[in-house]
Amino acid sequence: MKEVAIIGIGMIKWGELWEKSLRDLAVEAALKCFDDAGVDRVDTIYVGCMSSGLFNNQEHLASVVPDYLGQRFTPATRVESACASGGLAVRSAFLEVASGMSEYALAVGVEKMTDVDGGEATFGLATAADQDNEAFHGVTFPGLYAIMANAHMDKYGTTIEQLSQVAVKNHYNGSMNPHAQYPFKVTLDQVMNSTKIADPLRLFHCSPITDGAAAVLLVPVEKAKALNKPYAVITGIGLATDTIALCQREELYNLKVVEKSAQRALKMAGKTIKDVDFAEVHDCFTIAEIMVMEAIGVVEPGKGGPAVMDGLTALDGKFPINPSGGLKAKGHPVGATGVAQICEAVNQLRGESGQRQLKNAGTALTQNMGGSGASSVVHILEARS
């Protein structure tokens, strides 16, 4: 396979974007990506999106995006894996370039979730759960992650303070991110006293409903070298799936799908987690960040909560997690999240993250998850110049 580089990234301000359509979001992010790369050539397009049919009554994004991007007749494919759709779109674009099928592959992640009310959004998101064993009985994703949180707390003694500190950390990081939906700081008391959603999870333990898009442009490394500017290389990718229903897993306090996907990505990159400098992970709920950091091997199982309290994952910690603010503060337009994680990783590796720039950022890991851990995509990226 050819070595694959990312030469352009594009991300828009996320939030409740009433004045913009689904196609507007995707096109704006893609054009920013072209501007960043300094090129406008594209041989193929992959669009990550979970539920545009339910949220916007618009399917066939493989035609919509190239059409309104001014790329008529360009081969395009829509990719869906619930909340991991964006990460899977990047993986698909990687394979396109690595195989030699294309030289310039664009991965766009997009979702516009606020065109429907809260009930309809909850219904749309629940399609990523097991319809017969979960959604039919009224179990929503806050409920599923609450089950996982309770299991983790019972097994390891994880506390509500530890779950809350994840939100405090990520909002602090997000307060310095101009693209974040909620760029403000919160206190531990504010998180712990916010409205209860599904015991033990409270409102500030949960990621929001978001409109947003992000894009990355992938090329063979020799094309990136010719541009004479810093770029990032994807050296490892891991994909795994698990049972869609939480009730069919042997254990509820770990994420085997994340462990498997991370192991595959690190093996492909020829690295261990000790070689990674920071990570962007899927904190759809704060318990998820704790479980993911354990699954990828940053700490031993059960040590995630104490590690957060000790500052291990802070911007100035030994292993920063979610310097972007994560899904919690940056937002979670489900089809775009995985692509945005790549954007943040590339920004950090290029040393262009402003106030939240990490020191000595040379190798990054991104982890994008679907449902309650039914799918997971992990990328390893390295800085080059």
The answer to whether residues 101 and 166 belong to one domain is no
Do 180 and 36 fall into the same domain?
Answer: no
Q: 284 an active-site residue? A: no
Same domain, 106 and 147: no
Tell me if 364 sits within 8 A of 265, measured CB to CB: no
Domain assignment present for 84: yes
Structure tokens at 189: 């008391």
Tell me whether residue 243 is in a domain: yes
Asked if 44 and 74 touch (Cβ cutoff 8 Å), the reply is yes
| Residue 230 counted as domain residue | no
Full-model pTM:
0.98
Same domain for 135 and 22? no
CB atoms within 10 A of CB 220: 17
What CATH number corresponds to the domain at position 327?
3.40.47.10
Helices H, strands E: what count in the chain? 14, 11
Residue 240 pairs in a beta bridge with: 376
Domain enclosing residue 140, as ranges: 125-207+235-379
* pLDDT value at residue 285: 98
Three-state SS letters, 25-49 = HHHHHHHHHHHHHCCCCCCEEEEEC
Paired residues of 382 in beta bridges: 233, 363
CA distance 360 to 218: 24
Q: Which two tokens stand for residue 118?
A: 């809260």
Same domain, 14 and 91: yes
> Are 218 and 241 part of one and the same domain?
no
Name the catalytic one among 83, 206, 284, 343.
83
End position of a domain, from candidates 173, 196, 225: 225
Does a structural domain hold residue 162? yes
Are 137 and 180 members of one domain? Answer: yes
Please provide the DSSP assignment of 250-300 as one string.
Answer: S-SSS-HHHHHHHHHHHHHHT--GGG--EEE---SBHHHHHHHHHHTTSS-
Asked which of 225, 258, 290 is the last residue of a domain, the reply is 225
Q: Strand 211-220 relative to strand 4-11: parallel, antiparallel, unpaired?
A: antiparallel
| Of the residues 225, 256, 280, the one at which a domain ends | 225
* 47 and 173 co-located in one domain: no
- 59 with 82, same domain: the answer is yes
In tens digits, what is the pLDDT along the chain, a chain of 385 residues? 999 999 999 999 999 999 999 999 999 999 999 999 999 899 999 999 999 999 999 999 999 999 999 999 999 999 999 999 999 999 999 999 999 999 999 999 999 999 999 889 989 999 999 999 999 999 999 999 999 999 999 999 999 999 999 999 999 999 999 999 999 999 999 999 999 999 999 999 999 999 999 999 999 999 999 999 999 999 999 999 999 999 999 999 999 999 999 999 999 999 999 999 999 999 999 999 999 999 999 999 999 999 999 999 999 999 999 999 999 999 999 999 999 999 999 999 999 999 999 999 999 999 999 999 999 999 999 999 8
Based on the fold, state whether residues 152 and 197 are members of the same structural domain: yes
- The answer to the question of residue 384 being in a domain is no
Out of 205, 332, 343, 379, the active site residue is: 332
Q: Are 202 and 192 in contact (CB under 8 A)?
A: yes
Give the pLDDT confidence of 273-308 residue by residue, as tens digits. 999 999 999 999 999 999 999 999 999 999 999 999
Are 67 and 4 a contacting pair, CB within 8 Å?
Answer: no
Q: For residue 365, what pLDDT is reported?
A: 99
**Residue 310 and residue 314: Cα distance in Å, rounded?**
9
pLDDT per residue over 177-210, tens digit each? 999 999 999 999 999 999 999 999 999 999 999 9
| pLDDT in the model for residue 40 | 86
Instruction: Please indicate, yes or no, whether residues 53 and 140 belong to a single structural domain of this protein.
Output: no
Q: What is 195-239 written as a DSSP string?
A: PEEETTEEGGGB----EEEEEEEEEEHHHHHTT-S-EEEEEEEEE
How many domains does the chain divide into? 2
Nearest residue to 72 (alpha-carbon basis) of 102, 117, 42, 48: 42
Residue 379 annotated in active site: no
Question: In terms of domains, do 278 and 216 share one?
Answer: no
Dig out the tokens for 350 from the structure.
Answer: 């290029």
